[in-house]
A and B are shown apart, each in its own frame.
Chain A
């Protein structure tokens, strides 16, 4: 048998080998035609409906508790909404009408939910998601009424890879990370509920594989490669071994040093509050990149100061002894946001985005965000650092910092407790790499975003597979830009970090230490491995490696010099 690969979207950079267990909850709702109405006893059906509803409430309560424990109370809140849909008088009336008209309870349930689902389906954004919630509640009732078996996701054999068309919040909350090796879904994107869940639990997962997935049979061996976003069916021995070897490092909850005692901060990138817990569990010293876009996307109005304040306060409180680097809003013409006037641009990645919008059309949003951030920092023990995205000039950085100063003065005059944050910038444009000495003299820190820096240095779209070979942080011009940025901070009080994907690649840890980074920030899942690597690195040997890499002229030469993936460095 030969292996074949199905492409999807990697939700976590983890891989696993396992055996496919198909999850098809919708099977329960293939109902036969209802019997003739005169043979149905409405009062008996009413009773069946009530019983099913009671059991559904019990199930939801159990699942809510389990979700609260595993992924936090925000994610668990969805079950409260489900409970209320279950008791909704409008739906109840619909079900009652069906039963009255001679339908068995399960058919009446489908009728009773239909208009509500239709109503939400016609709406936009988060209202459309309510349709999914309603379907979820409906299918639960129908399953309980028909006695259909549902695969118990909380009791799967070890090494199961759950494969499904889609996984709802209630499905994912049941998955037991101790036994499930990973999951794969046909639908969903990087920010789907299932993908977020996978990251918060550090489960290998690939989403959005498409219809090809439906052909895989139960029991088939697969590799879930969340890093590449691939599902390898019938993998070869070699592919299996490679997959099994990821993610084995022991979690270190203390800050680490290199073998010769140089401290390197290892922090987590966070894109959703639910990821904070996973970051702590996997030993993050702090947050090196807290993306704030989640607060602004998928809604009809911008988030107000109070909502933002609460969210930031929680993040800062989670790291009482660490630092949380919050990136101010980074949006532009590539994502539609109904309440912002984002015009379509020919080249959105070279257009009005990041700090360009914050100093222009979104000035008010920017100030609200800064106020919420600085107030939150004043009330918590954790240290706040504010970072601006897509800076290209000194003027932009200075203007951003002035806004921070203005907000601090306003809050101080209002008598609010204020803790002065560090203020720094992303280094993601070649312009800032060239300006690094000037920025290092003005900023408290610089943090390299390697995905965008690579895209702009190499003129290669990060989302275009045809230029993926060019979009590689091991390209010599990128490595040389990195060195130039670090060099600019040497002998200053300005610290330098990296918060791009490159920082989370253990094969590159020694090189990054050798280049002189003070901080590395990555997806929580790779934290233990990178911390382990740092502890085994000797700084002077790493510097030697960095020098040789800086002399290389091609990407292949760079790769040749790097320690092999499965080797410890310096051996």
Chain B
């Protein structure tokens, strides 16, 4: 199991397009991935519904937890999504 904490860079936070991209990226990997506020409960990173409901804003920290063969690669990719300002992808 791999875990890391990442600061959300897109101005919109995990809403709209950034959330869409996040979920899309999570779906490209086979491992189980969960996401949540740094001190909160974790939800399924493949669920647009769950990810948007977290209501994570710009500059807030999220915790990513992955378990499976490609867990490192998955977290690298998700970290990139979360660290790229909107419009620069």
Pick from B48-56, B63-71, B72-80 the stretch touching chain A: B48-56
A119 to B52, CA, bound (A): 11
Number of B interface residues in the complex (CB < 8 A): 25
Q: Tell me whether A84 and B23 are in contact (CB under 8 A).
A: yes
Interface of A is mostly: helix
> Does A77 touch B at the CB level, under 8 Å?
yes
Residues of chain B from 1 to 46 with CB closer than 8 A to chain A in the complex: 11-13, 15-17, 19-20, 23-24, 27, 44, 46
Interface size bracket, A side = 20 to 34
A272 to B44, CA, bound (A): 34
> Does A310 touch B at the CB level, under 8 Å?
yes
A81 to B57, CA, bound (A): 18
> Does A307 touch B at the CB level, under 8 Å?
yes
Cβ contacts under 8 Å, A90 to chain B:
44, 47, 49-50
A306 to B12, CA, bound (A): 11
Nearest chain B CB to A122 CB, angstrom units: 10
From B19, B23, B24, B52, residue with most partner A Cβ within 10 Å: B52
Chain B minimum-CB-distance residue to A117: B49
Q: Tell me whether A116 and B17 are in contact (CB under 8 A).
A: no
Q: Tell me whether B15 and A126 are in contact (CB under 8 A).
A: yes
Q: Tell me whether B24 and A84 are in contact (CB under 8 A).
A: yes
Cβ contacts under 8 Å, A299 to chain B:
12
A80-B20, A84-B20 given; A304·B48 CB < 8 A: no
Nearest chain A CB to B16 CB, angstrom units: 7
Cβ contacts under 8 Å, B49 to chain A:
85, 88, 90-91, 116, 119, 134
Cβ contacts under 8 Å, B27 to chain A:
87
A116 to B53, CA, bound (A): 9
Count, A-B residue pairs, CB within 8 A = 68
> Does A260 touch B at the CB level, under 8 Å?
no
Which residue of the partner chain, among B16, B23, B47, B86, contacts A307 with CB atoms under 8 Å? B86
Encoded as 1 (CB less than 8 Å from any B CB) or 0, chain A from 285 to 297 comes to 0000000000000
Q: Tell me whether A120 and B46 are in contact (CB under 8 A).
A: no
> Does A300 touch B at the CB level, under 8 Å?
yes
Q: Tell me whether B15 and A85 are in contact (CB under 8 A).
A: no
Residues of chain A from 93 to 121 with CB closer than 8 A to chain B in the complex: 116, 119-120
Chain A: residues with CB nearer than 8 A to chain B? 77, 80-81, 84-85, 87-91, 116, 119-120, 123, 126-127, 130, 134, 299-301, 303-304, 306-307, 310
22 contacts between A and B (CB under 8 A): A77-B17, A77-B20, A81-B17, A81-B19, A81-B20, A84-B20, A84-B23, A84-B24, A84-B48, A87-B48, A88-B50, A89-B47, A90-B50, A91-B49, A130-B52, A134-B49, A299-B12, A301-B13, A301-B57, A301-B58, A306-B11, A310-B86
Query: A88-B47, A88-B49, A91-B49 given. 17 additional CB < 8 A pairs?
Result: A77-B17, A80-B24, A81-B16, A81-B20, A84-B24, A84-B48, A87-B48, A89-B47, A90-B50, A116-B49, A123-B53, A123-B55, A126-B15, A301-B13, A304-B11, A307-B11, A310-B85
